[in-house]
Structure 1
Amino acid sequence: MDITKYPQFELYLLTLNLLTLKDQLVPDGCNPRCINSTIINRAYFSSYLYCLLWLEDVKKFKPIPILQLGPDERISEHQQVRNALSNFGEIRMKSELLKLADLRRKADYDPFSDITSDEVTDAVRHMEKIFNHLKFE
């Protein structure tokens, strides 16, 4: 499989470009948080979608849509992906994705919290670890 032809990889490349250009992308009068939160969000979603594609292609795992689960067994597809990574022995990748999810929650749902340059760098580092570790056959 040539992963470079997939949207997940294109989103990965976009995220790297956003990081490189971040100082130029902040509109005048805006807080750098606007681009920092976007980079973290894109790092998470490119990684999540990449993990999902890897699980589907390599491990033949597909999460069950939450609405198809009964009320007592509802678990988000995002959590199912993290659990599947762990179940298939990719505990470290589960941890990387979970760290990204925590950063994304802060970036997306807590708009008045500061996002540090270290958090942006950490998010991209987590993303790169996932993309470099999970390989397609």
Structure 2
Amino acid sequence: MNIVKYPQYQLYLLTLSLLIFKNHLIPYDCDERCVDSTIINRAYFSSYLLCKLWLEDVKKFRPIPVMDLDASERIGEHLQVRNALYNFGEKIISDDLSKLARLRKTADYDPFRDLTQADVSDAIGYMESIFGNLKFD
């Protein structure tokens, strides 16, 4: 599979471009958090979507939609993907995706918490690790 032709990879490239051109994207009278949160969000979703594709293509695993599960068994699709990665022996990728999920949650749902350059760098590092380590047959 040539992943470069997939939307997940295109989103990965967009995220790297957002980082490169970040200073040109910050609107007047805004701080850089507005762009940093978008970079972290896109780093997470490109990685999540790649992991989901890998699980479907290589391991023939598909997360079960939450609404198709009994109330006592409900677990979100994002957590199902992280758990499946771990269960298929991809512990580092599962951990990286979990760390990215926590950063994305802060970036998206806690707008008054500052995002540091370390947060952005960590998000990019986790994304690059995931894209560099998942192998498609």
Shorter-chain TM range is: over 0.9
Q: What residue is the counterpart of 2:15 in the other structure?
A: 15
Q: What residue is the counterpart of 2:113 in the other structure?
A: 113
Q: CA deviation at 1:31?
A: 1.0
Inter-partner Cα distance in structure 1 for 2:24 and 2:84: 39
Q: What residue is the counterpart of 2:29 in the other structure?
A: 29
Inter-partner Cα distance in structure 1 for 2:10 and 2:80: 24
Q: What residue is the counterpart of 1:69 in the other structure?
A: 69
Q: CA deviation at 1:13?
A: 0.2
Q: What residue is the counterpart of 2:42 in the other structure?
A: 42
Inter-partner Cα distance in structure 2 for 1:129 and 1:103: 16
Query: Are 2:6 and 1:6 aligned?
Result: yes
Q: Point out 4+ residue stretches in structure 1 off by more than 4 angstroms.
A: none
Unaligned runs of 5+ in 2: none
Code of the residue aligned with 2:39 in structure 1: it is I
Question: Between Structure 1 and Structure 2, how many residues are aligned?
Answer: 137
Inter-partner Cα distance in structure 1 for 2:119 and 2:63: 29
Code of the residue aligned with 1:108 in structure 2: it is D
Q: 2:46 aligns to what SS in structure 1?
A: helix
TM-score, with length taken from structure 1: 0.99
Inter-partner Cα distance in structure 1 for 2:22 and 2:73: 41
Unaligned runs of 5+ in 1: none
Sequence identity of aligned pairs in percent? 63
Q: What residue is the counterpart of 2:125 in the other structure?
A: 125
**In the TM superposition, what are the counterparts of 1:70-109 in structure 2 within 5 Å?**
70-109=70-109
Inter-partner Cα distance in structure 2 for 1:14 and 1:136: 21
- Once superposed, what is the RMSD of the aligned Cα atoms? 0.4
TM-score, with length taken from structure 2: 0.99
